[in-house]
Amino acid sequence: DTKGLKDYYRKYFPLGVAVSPYSIKQTQQAGLIIREFNSITPENAMKMGPIHPEENRYNWQDADSIVAFAQAHGLKVRGHNLCWHEQTPRWLFYDQQGTLLSKEILLKRLRDHIFTVVNRYKGKIYAWDVVNEAIDDDSTHFLRNSLWYKICGEDFIYKAFEYAHEADPKAVLFYNDYNTERPEKRERVYKLLKKLIDAKVPINAVGLQAHWSIYEPGQKDLITTIERFASLGLKVQITELDMSIYPWEKSPRERLPGESDTYTQDLEQKQADQYAMAFKVFRKYKDVITGVTFWNISDQHTWLDEYPVKGRKNYPLLFDQNLQRKKAYQSVTNF
Ligand code: G3I
């Protein structure tokens, strides 16, 4: 059967997947990507640390190879990301004496970075995650107390969007974050988006990362989130979808008492049901949702094997460790 996920969803939205320069060189994985998906996101290759390791040196090799793969196979590319507190090189925030930069110089560096990267892939990357995860995890704070925030206050967010829009006026510009279905965080993200829109910042869309589990979110919270952000006139994408078999809320950095990483049939079924629920909602909101991207290709490799518990195997995707379609694949294509 050569029909893939993207074909089932032709009338709805593009289906994407996060890739590495390594995965696209593996024949089997490359074949799966081309058969099932029509969009890709570089999992790490375009983040500031990997792509801009020193002030006067860019490392284009990995990102270029991913864009070339997309071009060769007619896939769309989402750029990820232009401004984040993680995977950001240390040089960016300090001068040569090791002193924290002034706001003016840091914004100049941000502008140079955004112009250089966005320009290089102009016309080949249709959307950018401009600012990633700027809202704090602690509900008593609004924005995350990153070096970006410490040096620039809220302004780095406004500026990042302005620079990206200036560099490529046609690119679709995103604010991207996780846990956006939890009411309290949703409201803080909403507040930020509203401020940006009121200030006429060129933002087009919001990315719900969707690092979910078989236990959450519930349908109601998912729907409320989509409608709430859509009410601002923004498009919505699901940008980093996976479905952990472990509960997130109670996930400490070590295993729960008695917890094993056996992937039982019961868990696989629960996961298929949770995926089915989510995709039913996505289809219903197809006028708002302009893309759904999975975070990694198959259970063979997922960032969730390392996080939050190092070495605890997870099985969060639609394809198993042998790259075969799982129950969840059937549940999202059978409608
Ligand atoms: O590149 C180095 C390599 O040189 C070194 O040998 C190796 C040793 O550990 O590390 C490699 O870097 C790792 C990198 O992934 C590439 O594999 C980093 O340690 C590791 O921290 C990094 O993790 C990535 C993580 O973002 C960074 O925070 C994950 O792959 C990636 O899936 C994850 O993706 C994020 C999204 O960008 C934003 N939303 C959350 C999502 C999950 O955390």
The complex's ipTM works out to: 0.94
What is the average pLDDT value for the chain, to the nearest integer? 96
Ligand 1 pocket, residue 303 CB under 6 Å:
yes
* Tens of pLDDT, residues 61-94: 999 999 999 999 999 999 999 999 999 999 999 9
Q: Which atom of ligand 1 is nearest to the CA of 50?
A: 1
Does residue 39 contact residue 77 with C-beta atoms inside 8 Å? yes
Query: Kind and range of the H or E element at 205?
Result: strand 205-208
Which amino acid appears at position 167 of this protein? A
Poorest-pLDDT segment among 45-59, 162-176, 243-257, 279-293? 243-257
Instruction: Kindly state if the Cβ of 263 falls inside 6 Å of ligand 1.
Output: no
Q: Is the pTM of this model over 0.80?
A: yes
Query: Ligand 1 mean position to 323 CA, how many Å?
Result: 22
Q: Is residue 249's pLDDT more than 80?
A: no
**pLDDT level of residue 257 (50, 70, 90 thresholds):** confident
Is ligand 1 within 6 A of the CB of residue 87? yes
Extract the tokens encoding 216: 């959450």
- In the block, residue with structure tokens 């919001």: 206
| Distance, C-alpha 202 to centroid of its chain | 19
| Closest approach atom of ligand 1 to CA 209 | 39
3-state SS class at 258: coil
Q: What is the whole-number distance in angstroms between the Cα of residue 197 and the centre of ligand 1?
A: 31
The Cα-based distances of 226 to 151, 169, 221 in angstroms read: 32, 25, 9
- Quick one: average pLDDT of 276-288? 98
Distance 42 CA to ligand 1 centre (A): 11
| Ligand 1 pocket member 306 (CB < 6 A) | no
**Which of the residues are catalytic?**
240
Strand partners of residue 172: 127
What is the CA(44)–ligand 1 centre distance, in A?
6
Residues 39, 244: Cα–Cα separation, whole Å: 22
Q: Whose CA is nearest to atom 34 of ligand 1?
A: 43
Does the Cβ of 290 fall within 6 Å of ligand 1? Answer: no
